[in-house]
Amino acid sequence: MLATRRREILKMLAGAAAWPLLHGDALAAISAVHAQLASKYQGKALDPHQNAIVETIAEIIIPETHTPGAKSASVAEFIDIVLADWADDAERRRFLDGLAEVDRRSQELFAKDFAALNLARQSEIVRGFDEEFMVDVADQAGRPKDPKDKDEPMFKKSSFFAMMKRLTLIGYYTSAVGARTLHYQIVPSSHIQCAPIEPQEAD
């Protein structure tokens, strides 16, 4: 039952409109993932080299500015748990193959592994993946769903980065760090339209 629930939640997280669909059980399950990170976490799905790639890409997606970045929120560890405990073999392999592709492009462009590059070159590679992702989003939106594609990744070319980007955002904004950044509101509780503006007295 728990494995089935995790699979259902992972499917929600793969969807473009995931946030409005996150019910109490989903948020509780995600909170349980974060609870595993309270103590020193030992990776299960990612080796140290793969973890370094995930950690770097996540920090590029959500960098530290005046608020903490993805690394401070242990996003790489969050993704490791999701891959190890929630993803099926095909999804895990697709993600790990994507990490290998990151290094392949890095070697092709700069003759170094991704983790050994400076931030500017790392960002250039990530930007390439993101551009492919956006092209696939537009392509997916513009064509009808083919029933034969039901077991295929939603985004054929960029499915690794689609998963990477979404898990980074979800891992960050459901963490204690992300909650503080959002002032503990994943979805605002209310929206007041056309609120009157009180006239201000001239100084």
pTM above 0.75, yes or no: no
| 145-188: pLDDT as tens digits | 555 555 445 445 558 998 899 889 888 888 888 777 665 554 54
Check: CB of residue 148 under 8 Å from CB of residue 156: no
pLDDT on residue 142: 62
| 62-119: pLDDT as tens digits | 999 988 999 998 999 999 988 988 888 888 999 999 999 999 999 999 999 999 999 9
Residue type, 33: V
pLDDT on residue 48: 94
pLDDT at 137 > cutoff 70: yes
3-state secondary structure of 18: helix
Q: Categorize the per-residue pLDDT at 4 as very low, low, confident or very high, splitting at 50, 70 and 90.
A: very low
List of residues 6+ apart from 155 with CB closer than 8 A: 133, 136, 137, 140, 162
**Cα 113 to Cα 19, 50, 52, 89, 98, distances in angstroms:** 34, 11, 11, 25, 14
Q: Categorize the per-residue pLDDT at 203 as very low, low, confident or very high, splitting at 50, 70 and 90.
A: very low
Q: Quote the CA–CA distance of 14 and 80 in Å, as a whole number.
A: 16
Nearest to 158 by CA among 132, 138, 139: 132
pLDDT at 15 > cutoff 70: no
pLDDT on residue 19: 47
State mean pLDDT over 38-53.
Answer: 85
State mean pLDDT over 182-198.
Answer: 53
Q: What is the phi/psi pair of residue 153, to 5°?
A: -60, 145
Q: Quote the CA–CA distance of 107 and 90 in Å, as a whole number.
A: 26
Q: Quote the CA–CA distance of 109 and 36 in Å, as a whole number.
A: 37
pLDDT on residue 43: 79
